[in-house]
Structure 1
Amino acid sequence: MRCGFCGYEFEENEGNVGCKNCPMSSGCKMVKCPRCNYENPPEPALVKTLKKVFSKKKTTK
């Protein structure tokens, strides 16, 4: 995923999930950028699938 603030690209599992002080922390799905700590919404499943499909095509060439 790409951070909406600084543009850093990272895997969703690299980011910090959940907020300690957030009132919605039990249902919060925001992912914090490991570089700038900006909260980003998680990538939709369709985007993840498309990235996998196109990355496989690039590696097979």
Structure 2
Amino acid sequence: MKPERQLELWVKGESVHNDERGECCPDFSCCKPWLLAPEHERKTFLGADQRGDSKNERYKI
């Protein structure tokens, strides 16, 4: 799965572990569902990713 597709699903609330690349969702909710970030935080993360902002500085997980 492409990382962009994984991110798209995560923003919609469907946390999917990317087994092909060994990657968790940004909030690790694919492996620990109770960690799913609120919708507004997932959308903020997506916006930062699309703008190329540093996620570590702009969005704390």
More strand by share: 1
Higher share of residues assigned helix: 2
Q: TM-score, normalised by structure 1?
A: 0.34
- Computing the radius of gyration from Cα coordinates, the structure with the larger value is 1
